Amino acid sequence: MYIEVEHSRDHAGLGIVETEHFTFGFPPDTLLLESGERLGPITIAYETYGSPNRDKSNVVLICHAFSGDAHATGFHRGHHKPGWWNNMIGPGKAFDTNRYFVICSNVLGGCKGSTGSSSINPRTNRPYGLDFPIISIKDMVNAQRHLIDHLGIDVLLSVAGGSMGGMQVLEWMAAYPERILSAVPIATSAGHSPQQIAFGEAGRQAIMADPDWKSGDYYGGPLPLRGLAVARMIGHVTYMSDKSMNEKFGRQVKSGGRADKFSSDFEVEEYLKDRGESFCKRFDANTYLYLTKAMDYFDLAREKPLHEVFRDITAKVLVIAFKSDWLYPAYQCQQIVKACKLAGVDVTYCEIGSSYGHDAFLLESEDETLLVEHFLNRVSYENEIC
């Protein structure tokens, strides 16, 4: 998920930032994917904020949610909207760039600068489309690990993220426990429930039912915008709560009367249409299919109990959930906490009483800042990070 927040001025931010690119996996050293296929070359788009200290021991990796990207904070030149977590990353903020060197990359499979289904396939010189291999959360993290190696970083002070970003945090905990000192998974799950899979499938079917989708081979022609907009509308309903929708819209009806029998009469209907249309301007339909499928397949407890997966973790963990989040209910975060405790992991659990639903992890910056600041201060102090 992703929320666009407009700010006329960034009073305590980073100002203008730029996206960089790192390419690896040139044949024959392609990346082995969890599916068994190989992919390369791979480009990863990323941004950095702040400065590394002398021994690069102050590095924090931020993992973005489903429709996010590498642009986590600050402004791109000529744009009036800041990065997706601008209220949490910057000087004096939760992830204080006066103290920490913060990295955020667009995931493998994304459509904002990293290699994905909309990228050019070097074998055909055309967009991959459905020739792009199925990718997983593990593949995304493996690609991030290549970026971290490229930047000369041995150990991350922390890795943090919400929703799909939280899944990446959990994968870092499972796959590379020796390379992280702390982790902050927020509003996430160690494996999708049937309901969560059902919502993902409804969105995918909306896209594939659009006649312009053309089995994923729509590049260069009309885009499947109607299907993608409906998919986003379905998703956006799950990001809010019943209370937040009632407070924001109630049963307000648009002025001007009905245009036809099934026009969008209610304010909430018009809002969802607007969200769907604006999403189409910045996202790719095939990317939607690939990333939602990656989330659905994610299951850390697939081969052994979750506490066994976390057995080797020495990192400190802060798990944050939100009471009104019905897309990723608090009980799923509690399952992560229980598994950590059974594994002997130093874990802290905080549940914030927000009414915003799943959107809360992007909106409740005041409470999250207090939690994250205290947590990172503790981790930094115990590891003597200045």
Q: Report the sign of the C-alpha dihedral through residues 273, 276, 281, 284, in that order.
A: negative
- List Cβ neighbours of 55 (8 Å cut-off, separation of 6 or more): none
% helix, strand, coil for the chain, step of 5: 35, 15, 45
Instruction: Indicate the domain borders of the chain.
Output: 20-192+302-382, 199-291
- Condensed to tens digits (0 to 9), the pLDDT of residues 95-132 reads 999 999 999 999 999 999 999 999 999 999 999 999 99
- Contact present, 173 and 300 (Cβ < 8 Å): no
Q: What is the CATH code of the structural domain delimited by 20-192+302-382?
A: 3.40.50.1820
- List Cβ neighbours of 70 (8 Å cut-off, separation of 6 or more): 19, 45, 46, 47, 64, 104, 105, 106, 112, 113, 114
**Residues across the chain:** 386
Q: What is the pLDDT of residue 347?
A: 98
Tokens of 146: 């290549």
End-to-end CA distance of the chain: 33
Q: What is the pLDDT of residue 258?
A: 62
Calpha distance 183→179 (Å, rounded): 11
Given the residues 119, 358, 359, 380, select the one marked as catalytic.
Answer: 358
Q: Which of 198, 135, 210 is nearest to 167 (CA)?
A: 135
**CA dist 110 → 29, 143, 167 (Å):** 21, 12, 15
Helix or strand run (H / E) with residue 296: helix 285-297
Those residues of the chain that have pLDDT short of 70 are 1-12, 255-259, 385-386
CATH topology of domain 199-291: Rna Polymerase Sigma Factor; Chain: A (1.10.1740)
The b-or-e profile of 101-138 (16+ CB within 10 A means b, else e) is bbbbbbbbbbbbbbbbbbbeeeeeeebbbeebbbbbbb
Tokens of 201: 């499938």
* Whole-structure pTM value: 0.94
163 is catalytic: yes
> DSSP E strands: which ranges in 233-375?
316-322, 347-352
Q: What is the pLDDT of residue 6?
A: 36
Q: How would you classify the pairing of strands 101-105 and 42-49?
A: antiparallel
Given the residues 325, 354, 359, 380, select the one marked as catalytic.
Answer: 325
